[in-house]
Amino acid sequence: MKVKRFIGDSVQEVMGKVKKELGSDAIILHTRNIRQSGFLGLFKKNLVEVVAALEENKVEHRHSLNTSNGISNSGINNSLRYEGNSLKSKDHLEDEIRKIRTMMETMVNTLDFKKSELPKELSKYLDCLIANGVNDEVAFQILTRINQQINIANKDSTQVQEIVLYSIKDYLGESCPITYDGKQKVIFFVGPTGVGKTTTLAKIAANFSINNGYSVGMITADTYRIAAVEQIKVYSEIMNIPIKVVYEIKDIYKSLSNFRDMDIILVDTAGRNHKNGEQMNEIKELIESVNNKEIHLVINATTDFKTIKDVLDRYSFITDFKIIFSKVDEANNLGNILNTRFYFDNKISYLTTGQNVPDDIEAPNMENLSEKLIGE
pLDDT at residue 116 in the model: 65
pLDDT, one tens digit per residue, over 96-153 is: 665 565 555 445 445 554 666 788 888 889 988 998 999 989 999 999 999 999 888 8
pLDDT at residue 164 in the model: 95
CATH topology of domain 185-373: Rossmann fold (3.40.50)
- Cis amide leading into 177 (omega within 30): no
Pair 198, 222: CB distance under 8 Å: yes
Pair 128, 335: CB distance under 8 Å: no
SS3 23: coil
Distance (Å, whole) CA 229 – CA 242:
13
Distance (Å, whole) CA 74 – CA 68:
15
CB neighbour burial string for 262-301, b if at least 16 within 10 angstroms, e if fewer: bbbbbbbbbbbebeeeebbebbeebbeeeeeebbbbbbbb
266: β partners: 187, 218
3-state helix, strand, coil in the chain (%, to 5): 50, 15, 30
Helices (H), the chain: 11-22, 56-65, 73-86, 90-116, 120-131, 136-149, 157-172, 197-206, 226-239, 249-258, 277-288, 305-314, 335-343, 366-373
* Residues of the chain with confidence (pLDDT) below 50: 39-42, 68-76, 79-83, 105-106, 108-109, 113
How many angstroms separate the Cα of 373 from the Cα of each of 137, 165, 322? Answer: 15, 9, 21
pLDDT at residue 266 in the model: 95
CATH 3.40.50.300 in the chain is located at 185-373
Pair 247, 262: CB distance under 8 Å: no
Pair 339, 305: CB distance under 8 Å: yes
What is the C-alpha R_g of the chain? 26
